[in-house]
Structure 1
Amino acid sequence: MRIGIVFFPAVGPADKPATTYFAEALRLVDLAEEAGFDHVKMVEHYFFRYGGYSPDPITFLAAAAGRTTRVRLGTSATIPAFTHPIKLAGKLAMLDAISGGRVDAAFGRAFLPDEFAAFGIPMDESRDRFDEGVAAVKRLWTTENASFAGRFHSFGPVTLLPRVVQHPHPPVFVTTARSLESVATAAAEGHHLQTVPNAMTQDELAERITLFRAEWAKAGHARPGQIHLTMPALVAEDGEAAMAMGKYDEDRNTEAIGEAVAAWGRTSSSAYPGYEKMANIGKRLSFEEKVAQDKLLVGTPESVLAQIEGVAARYGGDDLSISLGVHSGHLDVERVAESLRLIADRVLPKLS
């Protein structure tokens, strides 16, 4: 099983300056490169403490590319609805060139009402904009003198420069937390899966993984599919200390997402059935229940290894990877760096 890290800042200026957060995150990128982690990822969000320090993950990944030579660099995920496909395809192609062909391009639909409102885009259009945006980006990556005529964007003939390094194009991931339709469509079209166990029950996650694998096999793709699970993680020598720090971090993160999803209390969209319930996100499982259900990987190196082995046994396969959420910004970076070292030294070797 391959293990990487993902950055999801959940702080704002009152908590930590952006300059400090990014200096800390890039220090952890260096550690991930040296310690043998598989990949580094960054999210895209706006305005709120929940991800707001990362309106453009590609900018962060370009900085990471300049100080690494080995780790994969992934978006987690970029939002086609908020960017013209020529701009998005060009930025990712440029990152692929800068990094020497290490980009994993994950795309998502977005789900926060305030973000859609700020961009002036109806939420009901999100699925169509997502599908069209990904198709247009792939067209630009794979076709010279490319033309495209869609509902939202039309262009061409144009030849995108620089050309992508990876052929036929960087691996494409679809990020989804709820939609079975999105999982099935992703597999049918040869797009890999990125999802968040914390957003669903174990049975729901198993259903989505099983569906993805079945649809991938049915489509007959020549290459194997990939499934990336995004899971917050914190490891310490002292299990009680790890739990205390993990609970503090998770409580602060829950506060941040609560602010970001509050608009769902006054919003509904046919493209997001049931999302009105997200306004009550803080009333769901306790921290201890999340750890017990392997939604959060928290504890000693040995206990977290056991959690990961449980995840592998439950959902396993050579296609499975985990992206560890390691630095929301609430904990001292020294504690986070020590957590990564412990995982590298005492967890990763047992998984190879």
Structure 2
Amino acid sequence: MRLGFLTHVQGTDAYRNAQELFVVADELGFDVGWVAQHHAPLQGGGLSSPWPFLAYAAARTQRIRLSTAVTILPLEHPLRLAEDVAVVDTLSGGRVEIGVSSGSGPEEYAAFGVDVERKRELTTEGLDVLRRALAGEEVGAPGFTIQPPVATDFTDRIWQGIFSAAGARFAAQAGANLLLNRATYGYEEPTDVVQRVWADEFLAAWDKPHAPRIGLSRFVFPAKDKRTALAQIEDGLNHAAAGFVARGTFPAGLSVEDYLFRFHAFYGHPDEIVEQLRRERVLPVATDLITQFNPGVPEFGAAVEALELIAKEVAPALGWSPAI
């Protein structure tokens, strides 16, 4: 299993602190650093342009791999996106991966002049162009290939975020690795029960010669105890929950603990988190555990301490060890 860290680039001095977290994660031996693209602002930040961010992170780190979870593919020109990916991959010495999906709000599609009703169609078309461009094939016009050419095979470095069993089958048929969100919404069953079905559908549909990968994103925030953890994540949690209530996704008036359950959160002492993750139904088939603090927005120092606890106590208890 690989260990990843995902940041939504939020909080005070969001961009600078997110870069510092990449440096910390690199030093701790995390295998992959992930960023989420958001065109509409989040509380205290939101990363609209992930590839310049990852280029800077590449210059500041030594070995951690660099990826998006996700780049919103229908709002990008796939050929231009492939060029950005190729540049960062070249600068980083081949450390780039890319996760894509169609996930974004109608207001963002409207802002870019893209029909939100076509988002799945555009994702399919864009993913095909992206894949062929990164493979060095002619795209766009006869004889045209992207510059710089990608030096190593990108076949197993493309991920797709999905939100249904049908999406999981589509990702497998397209030969993309599977990205599972931190939580499912609108289901009565727990997140891991729902997503295990999706993971099984993905594996059953996989027919490519290379091994499939499943990235499992989870809200993980360790601290010395639950009270300390909750003090750091409660404000961000309440802000996010209020947004879900306003959209009709969550019912109003629930307790903090109930909202944490709906976000499928793992928080508290590392031993408590390890015990909970050992009961996680998708983790046994996952190749990548992608930890994130969102919707919590902890202070920078607390975020660093949480990364250290994940790398030194939580992940090793689950069988992970750093490559460094």
**TM-aligned CA deviation for residue 65 of structure 1:** 0.7
Query: 1:299-347 deviations in whole A, cap 9, x for unaligned?
Result: 1011111122222xx2244643221113668321111111111222212
In structure 1, distance between residues paired with 2:129 and 2:44: 26
Match of 2:292 among 325, 335, 346: 325
Task: Indicate how the Cα distance of structure 1 residues 290 and 231 shifts in structure 2: closer, same or farther if over 3 A, else same.
Answer: farther
Structure 1, unaligned runs of 5 or more: 149-154, 263-278
Match of 2:203 among 209, 213, 219: 213
Matched, 1:193 2:178: yes
Matched, 1:171 2:157: yes
Query: 1:181-229 deviations in whole A, cap 9, x for unaligned?
Result: 221011122111111141243321111111111111xx2x222111112
Matched, 1:225 2:193: no
Look up the equivalent residue of 2:169 and give its one-letter code. A
Match of 2:264 among 295, 301, 306: 295
Does structure 2 conserve the Cα–Cα contact (< 8 Å) formed by 1:197 and 1:205? Answer: no
Query: Relative to structure 2, which stretch is displaced further, 163-172 or 282-291?
Result: 282-291
Matched, 1:85 2:72: no
Match of 2:147 in 1: 161
Query: 1:120-145 deviations in whole A, cap 9, x for unaligned?
Result: 1111111111111110111112234x
Query: 1:80-121 deviations in whole A, cap 9, x for unaligned?
Result: 211212210000111111111111111110230100110111
Match of 2:322 in 1: none
Query: Relative to structure 2, which stretch is displaced further, 198-207 or 49-58?
Result: 49-58
Match of 1:310 in 2: 279
Does structure 1 conserve the Cα–Cα contact (< 8 Å) formed by 2:216 and 2:283? Answer: no
Match of 1:341 among 298, 308, 312: 308
Structure 2, unaligned runs of 5 or more: 320-324
**TM-aligned CA deviation for residue 239 of structure 1:** 2.5
Task: Give the secondary-structure state (helix, strand or coil) at the position aligned to 2:39.
Answer: coil
In structure 2, distance between residues paired with 1:193 and 1:348: 21
The normalised TM-score by structure 2 is 0.88
Task: Give the secondary-structure state (helix, strand or coil) at the position aligned to 1:157.
Answer: coil
Task: Give the secondary-structure state (helix, strand or coil) at the position aligned to 1:102.
Answer: coil
Percent same amino acid among aligned pairs? Answer: 27
Look up the equivalent residue of 2:41 and give its one-letter code. F
In structure 2, distance between residues paired with 1:32 and 1:41: 11
The normalised TM-score by structure 1 is 0.82
Does structure 2 conserve the Cα–Cα contact (< 8 Å) formed by 1:206 and 1:315? Answer: yes
Task: Indicate how the Cα distance of structure 1 residues 50 and 331 shifts in structure 2: closer, same or farther if over 3 A, else same.
Answer: closer
Does structure 2 conserve the Cα–Cα contact (< 8 Å) formed by 1:33 and 1:71? Answer: yes
Does structure 1 conserve the Cα–Cα contact (< 8 Å) formed by 2:160 and 2:171? Answer: yes
Q: How does 1:13-52 map to 2 (within 5 A)?
A: 16=12, 20-49=13-42
Task: Indicate how the Cα distance of structure 1 residues 326 and 104 shifts in structure 2: closer, same or farther if over 3 A, else same.
Answer: same
**TM-aligned CA deviation for residue 230 of structure 1:** 1.6
Task: Give the secondary-structure state (helix, strand or coil) at the position aligned to 2:211.
Answer: coil
Aligned length: 313
In structure 2, distance between residues paired with 1:328 and 1:28: 17
Match of 1:129 among 122, 126, 143: 122
Task: Indicate how the Cα distance of structure 1 residues 50 and 170 shifts in structure 2: closer, same or farther if over 3 A, else same.
Answer: farther
In structure 1, distance between residues paired with 2:29 and 2:317: 13
**TM-aligned CA deviation for residue 79 of structure 1:** 1.8
RMSD of aligned C-alpha atoms?
2.4
In structure 2, distance between residues paired with 1:65 and 1:9: 16
